[in-house]
Structure 1
Amino acid sequence: RNAGLKQLLPQTGLVSFLDSDDISPTGRFKADLACFGEDPGLDLTYSRMTLVDKIDGETLEPAADSHSITVRGIHLSAGIFARNLIERTGGFDEDFKQAEDTDYLLRIFESQTKYVMPDTVALYYRRHPGNMTKEADVPFREFMRAIHKSMKRRKADPSLRRVEGIFDFKDLAQWRFL
């Protein structure tokens, strides 16, 4: 990700990320980009994601028999970031084995970021046996390390915001975790 950010063209105004095993829904950017047009001072739109266990290979939409739930959670691909926000935040912490994206998002939400949270769906997050988050201890340890770093930053600098509102898990009991 850091290598990609270094390759941004000078005229690049907005940045989005997408992991290789996730899908960006058709029309994903239209509504969120309009938010930037309405407010030129906006730093970030942070949308929802749909967790799915099956994607239709032709339509690239959740399969008819897929288990799915739409939530707001920590996922880098849920955001569209203004270039100046990326520059203010700096790069991803390459000491992380995983959860560097969580650390990055926490740093963004802690700062004086101007953001909106539209109800649009930014990605289909595919849950499958090969997900990195399915490894035994590494994902949990790295996620907790990102949370700990956030706590330490906020303790050292009380002007940093508490991170609120980026988790919204409605009807989670209906989701079958794989």
Structure 2
Amino acid sequence: MTPRVEVVVPVFDGARHLTAAVERIEAQGVARLGILVVDDGSTDATPEICDRLAHDGRIRWTRTANGGPAAARNVGLGMARAPIVAFLDVDDEWPAGRLAWTLDYLEARPGLDGLVGQVQIVTDSPEAEAAWTAIGMPMYPAFFPQVGAGLFRRELFDRIGGFAVDLRYAEDIDWYFRWFESEPAVETMRRVMLFYHLHDANMTRHRAATRQGFAAAIARSLLRRRRRANPPPALPAFEDFLVEPPVADAGRAA
């Protein structure tokens, strides 16, 4: 039976998080759910855990040479059979019931490409909080270009492409720019849809590399827009697509 939605989980040396991540996804309350784990060349016990979870019928998985988050997500997209996909990094999590109510909402609106919500940062150590405070990352719920805070139709990726594999950082920002350049059919909601955990092993704690990736994503977007016959003066913001979920969903989304 084809799943309603599949969740792509890229993982590199995330053995300590993987079982809990799968359990949290399973606890979202979605029938016909698929979980696709892409082991991005891990050197820890990730393959053994994937084998066990797959043997129990809880995931489908594959192993690739280490290519970074963009390449791993693209591999997961290639495995997907469901019409709707979500992404969750192995060390992050969703609020309870988030996948269920957003899936119902998106399925009831066939004209939408996807939904996006807010991100709440969770600090798992004082050192991580100090590192991110130095970057200037706000600690209150906000709209960030995190694919883990969205839910998307699979056909959207057929139209605008997957993630840029040459970007190890800011590949999600680059993808959002391409989507927002394409007159997106999206709704954003002032509801937390992702808990983004800060800890000592976050890739994005490498501030120089993160900023270089962000600058590259901006430069690519500017170049694409300049090449258009009638380039837009600016990209839309998340708030330009803001809606309130129905009352029945609001309590589950809070």
**TM class by smaller structure:** 0.7 to 0.9
What is the CA–CA distance in structure 2 between the aligned matches of 1:36 and 1:23, rounded to whole Å? 20
Match of 1:113 in 2: 184
Q: Deviation at 1:167?
A: 7.1
Determine which of 79, 97, 100 is the counterpart of 1:30.
100
Alignment match, 1:6: 78
Deviations 1:122-147 (A, max 9, x none): 11001122211111411100111001
1:147 paired with 2:197, answer: no
For residue 83 of structure 1, report the CA deviation from its aligned partner. Answer: 1.4
Identity of aligned residues (%): 33
CA deviation vs aligned residue, 1:108-135 (integer Å, no higher than 9, x gap): 1111210101222211001122211111
Relative contact order, higher structure (CA 8 A, sep 6+): 1
Shift of the 161–75 alpha-carbon distance from structure 1 to 2, 3 Å rule, reads farther
- 1:159, distance to aligned residue in structure 2 (A): 5.1
Gaps of 5+ in 2: 1-72, 126-137, 241-254
2:237 to 134, 155, 165: 165
Q: How far apart, in 2, do the equivalents of 1:161 and 1:37 lie?
A: 33
1:8-63 superposed Cα distances (whole Å, 9 cap, x missing partner): 11xx11111111221122111233223323321110101111111139xxxxxxxx
Compute the displacement of 1:160 (Å). 5.8
The aligned runs of 1:30-69 (5 Å cut-off) are: 30-54=100-124, 68-69=139-140
Distance 1:89 1:162 in 2: 19
- 2:112–2:186 Cα contact (<8 Å) kept: yes
* Higher strand proportion: 2
In structure 2, C-alpha distance between the alignment counterparts of 1:139 and 1:93, rounded to whole Å: 15
Of residues 166, 169, 177 in structure 2, which corresponds to 1:98? 169
* Residue ranges of structure 1 left out of the alignment (5+ in a row): 56-66, 169-178
**8 Å contact from structure 2 (residues 188, 239) kept in 1:** no
Change (3 A) 1:138 1:97: same
Structure with the higher helix share, 1 or 2:
2
Counterpart residue identity of residue 167, structure 2:
F
Query: Is 2:175 aligned against 1:86?
Result: no
